[in-house]
Amino acid sequence: MMASLGYDADPGYISSLLDAFGQWDDDKDGMLGFDEFVKLWEHLGGDDRAQAVLESGDPMEAEFNKFAVIDSSDFTKYLDRDSVKAMMIAHGFAPSEQYLEGVFKAMADADLNQDGRLSIDEFVKLYSFLGLG
């Protein structure tokens, strides 16, 4: 995640960051829940988009965010072929290559600006195509 956000994620830095996670782990369960992650994000200089998603309660946006890739140049979120496949597997699909090609064709049709990525607005069409929404 750090590398995709443009941070120099050398092993020493990551190790020290993992050691420091304890200060954000409010419930001391050894994992960062979303609220705890928001605090870490703020510490790393992130913006308030994560908190806005948490407060929005929009299930479609939450589903999109589970699989979204973040463009490190402008921090926009999108789905690509790999993230669509990961979403399908997470939802119990065991797609054959032929089925995946059909899904990717639908993804291309949903890609209104033809940039090879699906924004949250474009995602809704694909999600419906898959029978998930």
- Whether 88 and 101 have beta carbons less than 8 Å apart is answered as no
Q: pLDDT at residue 48 above 80?
A: no
**7 falls in which pLDDT band (50, 70, 90)?**
low
**51 falls in which pLDDT band (50, 70, 90)?**
low
What would the mean pLDDT of 103-125 be, rounded to a whole number? 85
The set of residues, in sequence order, having a beta carbon less than 8 Å from that of 98 and lying 6+ positions away, is none
What would the mean pLDDT of 2-31 be, rounded to a whole number? 70
- Whether 102 and 60 have beta carbons less than 8 Å apart is answered as no
Q: According to CATH, what is the number of the domain 59-133?
A: 1.10.238.10
Residue 46 has phi, psi (to 5 degrees) of -70, 175
7-11, 48-52, 90-94: which is most confident: 90-94
**90 falls in which pLDDT band (50, 70, 90)?**
confident
Where in the chain is CATH 1.10.238.10?
59-133
**17 falls in which pLDDT band (50, 70, 90)?**
low
Q: pLDDT at residue 79 above 80?
A: yes
50 alpha-carbon distance from chain centroid:
11
